[in-house]
Amino acid sequence: MIESSLIQKLENLTAVIGIIGLGYVGLPLARRYLQIGYTVLGFDIDPKKVDQLKAGKSYIRHIAADDFAESIKREKFDATTDFSKAAQADALILCVPTPLDKHREPDLSYIIDSVDKITGHLRPGQVVSLESTTYPGTTEEELKIRIQKAGFTVGRDIFLVYSPEREDPGNNNYSTRRIPKVCGGTTPACREAGLALYGQVIDQVVPVSSTKTAEAVKLMENIFRSVNIALVNELKTAFMKMDIDIFEVIKAAATKPFGYMPFYPGPGLGGHCIPIDPFYLTWKAREYEVATRFIELAGEINTSMPYFVVSRAADVLNQHAKPLKDAKVLLLGLSYKADVDDDRESPTYRIMELLEQKGAVVSYNDPYIPEIRPTREYPHYAGRKSAQITEEYDLIVLCTGHSQYDSIKPEALNTPILDTRGFFDDISGVIYRG
């Protein structure tokens, strides 16, 4: 049978694994398959990424290039922009972006384009897995329909699964191997193929009853975080009015060994999941006439935080007898989280834009992003370079708490610092919470 032949290839490591989308999710996944001994074929629409990988180089800071360089020498890895080579793979794993459009509705164009690129090159005996975060029903409504229109029967010829990525860039405690993998299939046969696909590379694979359930799992995880972050962001603004340090409160509350989990406020949400995923569910829920008011409120609070930071910046400058207009402001940290070079959906961009709209002269410093790369939402910032941390600024705003900023001596800078992360110790007249 086709299914048993595929599963045998996956289990004895003779299967060729195709990874579509070689970014922060696809690249570490490709590396993991190579480490186990599979042959991996990487697909990306960006020829610059492909060229770097073929040269044995990595463009993501926490992903070492050694595995790729060695695998290329052994002819176990290749990267390409030629999607016709999808026919060579026994498994095709889609790790492409799922952003929101300007109306905050799901943009599935990357998924659809990828599926359209491979459907003409599919063959019986392949497993196709979608890892991109999306709304429940996407795998069935978008991928299954397109695959079947290409003449295949899902569950007999092609085995279709959804297995949400859970990558946490820069988290050394949880590598790709150690993060449990949820997997749902369109049919029981599809699920078995999916379990075989991930079973050799992930320590624990968690089967669920359907692709819709697996899609919902991912949304639930990220909505949980979004709602709790919104809560502490709202508490921060309330406690600040009462002259209470939210970070001290959280630290003390976290000593309770049950019934509490610490979440931390910040300048807004960043990354490829938390700022986006809740809106995927709210959009889909409207189809069923369900109002997701709680989720939408959390989104509104988190989206408003850059405005709060800019308001606090104006307040701090005013305390130092300086207007926001024409003030020289340095933003510390462009990436969305500490000690990574990932700037996707970073709130620092929005803060930069809002400050400039108010007339401030804004620079940024980030040891991991020496020059801003083109982004979908802020292409006009491409090419801007990281500035030095000096005394020439009227205000410094800490947006991301990189460990390298531990060396900063705030009292020696002679510049007020607006700290949005609780990174620095409280120093009266120097450190301001925001």
Domains 2-208 and 225-433 share a fold: yes
Mean pLDDT of 104-129: 95
When pLDDT is cut at 50, 70 and 90, the band that residue 431 belongs to is very high
Query: Over the stretch 3-21, which tens digit does the pLDDT of each residue have?
Result: 789 999 999 999 999 999 9
- pLDDT for position 1: 72
- pLDDT for position 62: 77
Q: Is residue 61 pLDDT above 90, yes or no?
A: no
| Residue at token pair 């120093």 | 427
**With contact defined as beta carbons under 8 Å apart, do 196 and 205 qualify?**
no
Mean pLDDT of 319-338: 96
Q: Is residue 374 pLDDT above 80, yes or no?
A: yes
- pLDDT for position 173: 81
Of 95, 190, 273, 399, which is the active-site residue?
273
- pLDDT for position 210: 98
Mean pLDDT of 124-131: 98
Spell out the domain ranges in the chain: 2-208, 225-433
- pLDDT for position 270: 80
**225-433: what fold?**
Rossmann fold (3.40.50)
More confident residue, 372 or 64: 372
204: amino acid identity, one letter: Q
- Out of 3.40.50.12280, 3.40.50.720, 3.90.1010.10, 3.30.565.10, the CATH code matching 2-208 is 3.40.50.720
Q: Is residue 341 pLDDT above 80, yes or no?
A: yes
- pLDDT for position 171: 77
Q: What radius of gyration, in Å, describes the C-alpha atoms of the chain?
A: 23
CA distance 427 to 430: 5
When pLDDT is cut at 50, 70 and 90, the band that residue 72 belongs to is confident
| Residue at token pair 């509490």 | 260
Mean pLDDT of 385-402: 96
Query: Over the stretch 250-302, which tens digit does the pLDDT of each residue have?
Result: 999 999 999 999 999 999 988 767 778 788 889 889 989 999 999 999 999 99
- pLDDT for position 258: 96
> Considering only 98-112, 145-159, 188-202, which range has the smallest mean pLDDT?
98-112
Q: Is residue 169 pLDDT above 80, yes or no?
A: no
Clarify whether 273 is annotated catalytic. yes
- pLDDT for position 3: 77
pTM strictly above 0.85: yes
3-state secondary structure the chain: CHHHHHHHHHHCCCCEEEEECCCCCHHHHHHHHHHHCCEEEEECCCHHHHHHHHCCCCCCCCCCCHHHHHHHHCCCEEEECCHHHHHHCCEEEECCCCCECCCCCECCHHHHHHHHHHHCCCCCCEEEEECCCCCCCHHHHHHHHHHHHCCCCECCCEEEEECCCCCCCCCCCCCCCCCCEEEEECCHHHHHHHHHHHHCCCCCEEEECCHHHHHHHHHHHHHHHHHHHHHHHHHHHHHHHCCCCHHHHHHHHCCCCCCCCCCCCCCCCCCCCCCCHHHHHHHHHHHCCCCCHHHHHHHHHHHHHHHHHHHHHHHHHHHCCCCCCCCEEEEECCCCCCCCCCCCCCHHHHHHHHHHHCCCEEEEECCCCCECCCCCCCHHHCCCECCCCCCCCCEEEECCCCHHHHHCCHHHHCCCEEECCCCCCCCCCCEEEC
When pLDDT is cut at 50, 70 and 90, the band that residue 174 belongs to is confident
Q: Is residue 67 pLDDT above 80, yes or no?
A: no
- pLDDT for position 17: 98
249: amino acid identity, one letter: V
Q: Is residue 183 pLDDT above 90, yes or no?
A: yes
Q: Is residue 43 pLDDT above 90, yes or no?
A: yes
When pLDDT is cut at 50, 70 and 90, the band that residue 55 belongs to is confident
What's the chain's average pLDDT?
A: 93
Q: Is residue 60 pLDDT above 90, yes or no?
A: no
**Percent of the chain at pLDDT exceeding 90:** 79
